[in-house]
């Protein structure tokens, strides 16, 4: 047992609420309606994991909520500040204004994922898919214009169509691609304590998912090395929805289903946060052993939670609609017994990009 204090008991403010950090070698589901305090509570848990364990963490952060994870708040005690200062926390940005930028290599994707990015079906688009399959993409300092020119001049109609497709979809214009610069995958491979992928600043809707695919496919490919990593995904419905809306999303969902089903024994542990249980794929949800539930009003959603997490007393689930912001139910492998909790204060600076409403004047 690695005790992590994440707040106080909801019914006894003087008693600490403790979860077991050693049980993050399971998948964790974090859920509650918008504004219920999921991301804040997730931050509290991450901070305690950083202080109390050696577990490396990668965060897919669609709202730039964790970009200040290395900065402690002014009111935090000096010894905690010092411990945070000693942690190797690396943040990669997707908005062009901030360094270092988040890049990944297109050629690191599996052919299936490269095809998904190009919306190519192996059967429906057999010739172009086949052209992609047999292209030499080995060059590290990949040059966009030379690549498209070579396809156009290849004399092979399938390659020419593939080139026009890539050109038309403007895939190579995505700021995500590294084009010879280093990839965030290399950083994840080094296993610093935390890698934050701030994926919210991309303009193409598939870029955050392609970034996730680059990292997750690589981790899966190297799973036999059994190097533990906690993979935190906020707004997880954008990464593994029950019904994928694009070929990239389908490919990513499939990868996450595989990690959910088989990743545990290889040290690939998921921590997924979303608003409703039905917003992520059921084959991912059903693999989660830890539950953090914030306020949730809908009886149907609570019934779904009761169904998937059969070990949680229904009477406790039924309290969820009465939770205030920052109140939660923790249950499952990481909680000795199901407990109602008031989540404690963050130690590091919250990110996020909520806009303030200005008063008329």
Question: In the bound complex, which residue of the shown chain has the CB atom lying closest to Mg ion?
Answer: 39
Between 39 and 209, name the residue whose CB sits nearer to ligand ADP: 39
- Alpha carbons 171 and 164: distance in angstroms, whole number: 11
Between 10 and 248, name the residue whose CB sits nearer to ligand ADP: 10
Tokens 């599996």 correspond to 110
Give the binding range for ligand ADP (CB under 6 A) out of 31-39, 181-189, 211-219, 305-313. 31-39
Spatial CB neighbours of 185, under 8 Å, sequence gap ≥ 6: 104, 105, 108, 214, 215, 218
Q: For the chain, how are helix, strand and coil distributed in percent, rounded to 5?
A: 40, 20, 45
Number of H helices and E strands in the chain, helices first, is 12, 11
- Beta-strand pair 194-198/3-9: unpaired
3-class DSSP state of 130: helix
Least separation, in Å, of the C-beta of 351 and Mg ion?
Answer: 11
Between 34 and 168, name the residue whose CB sits nearer to ligand ADP: 34
Instruction: Please report whether residue 40 would count as binding ligand ADP according to CB under 6 A.
Output: yes
Least separation, in Å, of the C-beta of 66 and ligand ADP?
Answer: 11
Give the binding range for Mg ion (CB under 5 A) out of 13-21, 36-44, 80-88, 105-113. 36-44
One of 1, 11, 35, 221 touching ligand ADP (CB under 6 A) = 35
Residue 132's Cα: distance from chain center in Å?
Answer: 28
Beta bridge partners of 61: 198
Instruction: Please report whether residue 39 would count as binding Mg ion according to CB under 5 A.
Output: yes
What residue 20 binds from Mg ion, ligand ADP, none (CB within 5 to 8 A, per partner kind)?
A: none
Instruction: Please report whether residue 274 would count as binding Mg ion according to CB under 5 A.
Output: no
- Alpha carbons 280 and 235: distance in angstroms, whole number: 10
One of 28, 39, 247, 348 touching ligand ADP (CB under 6 A) = 39
Query: Between helices 78-85 and 38-52, what is the axis angle to 10°?
Result: 80
Instruction: Please report whether residue 36 would count as binding ligand ADP according to CB under 6 A.
Output: yes
Contacts 24+ apart (CB under 8 A), 295-302: 295/32, 295/33, 295/36, 295/37, 295/320, 295/321, 295/322, 295/323, 295/324, 295/325, 295/327, 296/31, 296/32, 296/33, 296/36, 296/320, 296/321, 297/33, 297/321, 301/276, 301/277
- Beta-strand pair 3-9/12-20: antiparallel
3-class DSSP state of 264: helix
Give the binding range for ligand ADP (CB under 6 A) out of 27-35, 135-143, 196-204, 246-254. 27-35
x/- string (CB under 6 A) for ligand ADP, residues 286-325? ---------------------------------------x
Instruction: Please report whether residue 332 would count as binding ligand ADP according to CB under 6 A.
Output: no
Between 31 and 340, name the residue whose CB sits nearer to Mg ion: 31
Least separation, in Å, of the C-beta of 256 and ligand ADP?
Answer: 20
Least separation, in Å, of the C-beta of 93 and ligand ADP?
Answer: 20
Between 32 and 118, name the residue whose CB sits nearer to Mg ion: 32
Give the binding range for Mg ion (CB under 5 A) out of 37-45, 108-116, 174-182, 289-297. 37-45
Give the binding range for ligand ADP (CB under 6 A) out of 20-28, 35-43, 69-77, 240-248. 35-43
- Alpha carbons 60 and 238: distance in angstroms, whole number: 11
Question: Residues in the site for ligand ADP, rule: CB under 6 A?
Answer: 32, 34-40, 325-326, 343, 350
Question: Residues in the site for Mg ion, rule: CB under 5 A?
Answer: 39
């Amino acid at each position: 047992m690695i005790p992590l204090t994440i707040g106080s008991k909801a019914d006894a403010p003087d008693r600490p609420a403790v979860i077991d950090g050693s049980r993050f070698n399971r998948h964790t589901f974090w859920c509650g309606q918008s504004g219920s305090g999921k991301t804040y509570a997730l931050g509290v848990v991450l901070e305690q994991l950083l202080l109390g364990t050696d577990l490396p963490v990668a965060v897919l952060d669609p709202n730039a909520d964790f970009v200040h994870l290395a900065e402690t708040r002014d009111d935090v005690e000096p010894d905690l500040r010092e411990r945070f200062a000693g942690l190797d926390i690396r943040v990669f940005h997707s908005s062009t204004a901030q360094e270092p930028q988040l890049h990944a290599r297109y050629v690191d994707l599996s052919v299936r994922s490269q095809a998904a990015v190009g919306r190519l079906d192996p059967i429906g688009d057999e010739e172009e898919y086949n052209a992609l399959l047999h292209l030499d993409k080995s060059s590290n300092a990949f040059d966009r214009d030379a690549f498209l020119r070579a396809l156009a001049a290849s004399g092979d109609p399938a390659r020419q169509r593939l080139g026009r497709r890539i050109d038309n979809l403007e895939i190579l214009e995505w700021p995500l691609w590294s084009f010879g610069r280093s990839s965030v995958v290399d950083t994840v491979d080094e296993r610093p304590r935390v890698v934050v992928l701030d994926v919210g600043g991309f303009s193409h809707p598939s870029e955050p998912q392609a970034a996730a695919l680059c990292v997750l496919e690589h981790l899966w490919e190297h799973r036999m090395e059994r190097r533990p990593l906690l993979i935190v995904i906020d707004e997880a419905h954008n990464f593994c929805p029950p019904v994928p809306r694009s070929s990239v999303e389908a490919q990513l969902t499939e990868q996450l289903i595989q990690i959910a089903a088989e990743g545990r024994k290889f040290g690939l542990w998921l921590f997924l946060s979303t608003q409703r249980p039905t917003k992520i794929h059921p084959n991912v949800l059903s693999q989660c052993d830890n539950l953090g539930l914030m306020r949730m009003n809908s009886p149907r959603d609570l019934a779904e939670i009761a169904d998937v997490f059969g070990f949680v007393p229904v009477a406790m689930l039924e309290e969820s609609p009465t939770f205030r912001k920052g109140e939660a139910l923790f249950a499952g492998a990481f909680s000795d017994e199901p407990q109602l909790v008031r989540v404690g204060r963050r130690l590091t600076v919250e990110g996020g990009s909520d806009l303030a409403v200005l008063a008329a004047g």
